[in-house]
Amino acid sequence: MKNLIIPKGYASELNIIQTQKAIKEIKDFFETNLANELNLTRVSAPLFVKKNTGINDNLNGVETPVSFKLNESEGLEELEIVHSLAKWKRIALKKYNIPVGEGIYADMNAIRPCETLDNIHSIYVDQWDFERVIEKKDRNEEFLKNIVNKIFNVFKRTDEFLSRRFLGYKKILPEKIFFITTDELLEMYPNDDAKTRENKIAKEKRAVFIMKIGGILKNGKKHDGRSPDYDDWQLNGDIIFYNPVLDSALELSSMGIRVDKQSLLKQLSLSNNEDRKELLYHKMLLNDELPLTIGGGIGQSRICMFFLQKAHIGEVQSSFWPLEMVKVCKENKINLL
């Protein structure tokens, strides 16, 4: 299959039941440590939100969310399955009156039917969505890097935990995470496309935070798409690790300091989305009704895939896969759940 990578000689060290048990241990350990490291409280979160409010995540602006209508007794209200909780969390922080330096996180389950299915992409998305209240003085690169280092510490502790928990497990993360901007990455590899640049820097550094995603680079192109109304494109980034099983970069988190009024207006203008200023969420932000925050999502299945060194995300989550992909995986000892 075109989108499927079959690692030569691949065989998972864990069977399906052992894998299921390991998934539980990894998720429990990581979640507890993430909450403690970032001072977060777990909250219940929605699976769906009202359409045309601006609360749903627009991702790259082209993906269509799954939607449905309620029955007549409820006024035919139209709802959308969330793409992520990027904007909902900011409203929740206001509603729950969370103070500066504290935040919330939630188990986010989403359906993204526009995904191209391959080793690391599924139409089912499960992640920890987190959001923390900050002050105006915190809206800078130094603060962003500090939070990224805290999250990386959680990854490092998980790596250490697994080395004690499972016989034969070898730690796979470097001591530190490497920081680089998208323009700096372009200067390093000027003749490569964005994904190739990511693969090269990930293989060299093993853990990297690529900053400033969403804007136009010096070559006139974008490194990657970002919705203009949650991350500040100058203060965001992706946590990416090198995945030796697939010999490629693996994005574990997309995160950043969120837009304030000024950066929202600028990015809506740059992306020709100024009509969004009339939506509920955007009006709240422009009227200074929402707190300043930093937040993002951390992929649960991808974390398990990385630490358990699986070749396919379907080995750590139950989802839908084309029949041909299921067949090829089975023939190559890739045990989809």
Q: Pick the catalytic residue: 112, 197, 206, 226?
A: 112
Q: What does DSSP assign to residue 230?
A: S
* Residue in this structure with the two tokens 């691949």, named with its chain if needed: 10
Based on its alpha-carbon atoms, the radius of gyration of the chain, rounded to whole angstroms, reads 20
Q: Pick the catalytic residue: 12, 227, 248, 254?
A: 254
The span from the CA of 24 to the CA of 125, in Å, is: 17
Q: Pick the catalytic residue: 12, 31, 57, 234?
A: 57
Q: Pick the catalytic residue: 25, 224, 251, 276?
A: 251
Q: Are 177 and 156 in contact (CB under 8 A)?
A: no
Q: Is 1 helix (H, G, I), strand (E, B) or coil?
A: coil
Annotated catalytic residue 254: yes
Q: Are 209 and 176 in contact (CB under 8 A)?
A: no
> By C-alpha distance, which of 217, 208, 214 is closest to 250?
208
Annotated catalytic residue 238: yes
The span from the CA of 334 to the CA of 337, in Å, is: 10
Annotated catalytic residue 112: yes
Q: Which residues contact 229 (CB under 8 A, 6 or more apart)?
A: 54, 58, 87, 259, 264, 267, 268, 273, 276, 281, 282, 285
Q: Pick the catalytic residue: 84, 122, 127, 271?
A: 127
Helix 300-307, helix 141-165: angle, nearest 10? 50
Annotated catalytic residue 248: no
The span from the CA of 328 to the CA of 326, in Å, is: 6
Q: Is 247 helix (H, G, I), strand (E, B) or coil?
A: coil
The span from the CA of 123 to the CA of 287, in Å, is: 35
The span from the CA of 270 to the CA of 73, in Å, is: 42
Q: Pick the catalytic residue: 31, 80, 126, 238?
A: 238
Catalytic residues: 57, 112, 127, 238, 251, 254
